[in-house]
Structure 1
Amino acid sequence: MSRIGKKAISVPKGVTVTVNGQTVTAKGPKGELEFVVNELCTVALENDEITVKPVDNSKPARSLWGMSRTRISNMFDGVANEFTKTLELVGVGYRAQMKGTALSLALGYSHDIDYPAPEGVKLAAPKPTEIIVSGIDKQKVGQAAAEIRAFRPPEPYKGKGVKYANEFIFRKEGKKK
């Protein structure tokens, strides 16, 4: 039994929710999102709470139960207040700046990397060594942050690279004579 799936999702204030068959639509002050729940789960809206239940007790239905509930909960959080991920650039000469809606990164390569903002994601570089990725869709924000980090992941010896703001980099000791 899914412990997460059992919990009902309460609709936050300022968010309007409509359930039409397997489609759940959430509209809030930040925008509008839609999620289509798999046929192996049922969705019900009653008393400003959404409940997700599996159709039967099969393994695939139980696997999708908690995931569907979490995706709907993340939709509500996203349209009520945005998701943000902060990235830090560590290294001499590593910098980020905005060129229109695209992000230009100097990461020690022979060329600058231009990363266009995906649809539904806002990029900002308030400082040359800081990047803020924000948006209402948690999956898109996380994917954009992971793609930016993948251009130069942090290395374990000096810690240089693009890292998440709260990420701990396990450091290794260098060579000894």
Structure 2
Amino acid sequence: MSRVGKNPVEVPGGVEVTIDGGTVSAKGKLGLLSMSFTDDVEITKDGNQVTVTPRSNVMRARKMWGTARAQIENLVQGVSEGFTKKLVINGVGYRAQVKGKDLVLALGYSHDVIYPIAEGLTVKCPDQTHIEISGANKQLVGQTAAEIRAFRPPEPYKGKGIKYEDEYILRKEGKKK
């Protein structure tokens, strides 16, 4: 019995969910998202709740039960509220700025790193050391944040680099004399 899958997904007001075979679409104030699911799970809508049940007791169906439910919840939350990831840049001379549809990062390399912003995402730089990535698609927001962080991951000695806002960097002690 899936602890995640057995709970129904609540659909808030202003969000419209349609189920067409194995495809679930959610439409809200932040846009339209849709996702296809396997035939191992059955997705039904009752009023303002979406429930997911496995079609059989096969291992794959039980695995996809909780996964499908979580992905449907991400669709509904994405079109109603959206998702945000915040990054912090630490280091002398390290900075970020948005120019048009590109994020320009100065990270101590001989050149600036230019990262193109994907369609459907909003990237803001409230100041030179903070980056806010927001959008309706949770996977796209997280993937973009991870790719930006990978340009200069935080190092353990001085803490220089790009890190998530809530990330804690384990610091190491330097060399002894």
The yes-or-no answer on 1:166 pairing with 2:148 is no
- Structure 2: gaps (5+ residues): none
Counterpart CA distance in 1 for 2:48 and 2:58 is 29
Equivalent pair of 1:30/1:81 in contact (CA under 8 Å): yes
- Coordinate RMSD, CA, aligned: 0.7
Counterpart CA distance in 2 for 1:57 and 1:175 is 58
Residue 158 of structure 2 aligns to a residue whose secondary structure is coil
Match runs of 1:116-127 below 5 Å:
116-127=116-127
What are the Cα deviations for residues 52-104 of structure 1, in whole angstroms up to 9, with x where unaligned? 01111111111111111001001111100111100000000000011101000
Q: Percent identity?
A: 54
Task: Write the letter of the residue equivalent to 2:43.
Answer: V
| TM-score normalised by the chain length of structure 2 | 0.98
How big is the shift at 1:142? 0.2
Residue 64 of structure 1 aligns to a residue whose secondary structure is helix
What are the Cα deviations for residues 111-165 of structure 1, in whole angstroms up to 9, with x where unaligned? 1000000122111111000101000000000000000000000001111000000
| TM-score normalised by the chain length of structure 1 | 0.98
- Which residue does 1:149 correspond to in 2? 149
Counterpart CA distance in 1 for 2:58 and 2:135 is 35
Q: Aligned pairs, how many?
A: 177
Task: Decide which moves more: 46-55 or 144-153.
Answer: 46-55
The yes-or-no answer on 1:15 pairing with 2:37 is no
Residue 157 of structure 2 aligns to a residue whose secondary structure is coil
Task: Write the letter of the residue equivalent to 1:101.
Answer: K
Residue 153 of structure 2 aligns to a residue whose secondary structure is coil
- Give runs of ≥4 in structure 1 deviating > 2 Å: none
Counterpart CA distance in 2 for 1:9 and 1:97 is 38
Task: Write the letter of the residue equivalent to 1:151.
Answer: F
- Which residue does 2:56 correspond to in 1? 56
Task: Write the letter of the residue equivalent to 1:92.
Answer: V
Match runs of 1:67-82 below 5 Å:
67-82=67-82
Counterpart CA distance in 1 for 2:97 and 2:81 is 25
Residue 149 of structure 2 aligns to a residue whose secondary structure is helix
Residue 5 of structure 2 aligns to a residue whose secondary structure is helix
Task: Write the letter of the residue equivalent to 2:104.
Answer: S
The yes-or-no answer on 1:45 pairing with 2:45 is yes
Residue 149 of structure 1 aligns to a residue whose secondary structure is helix
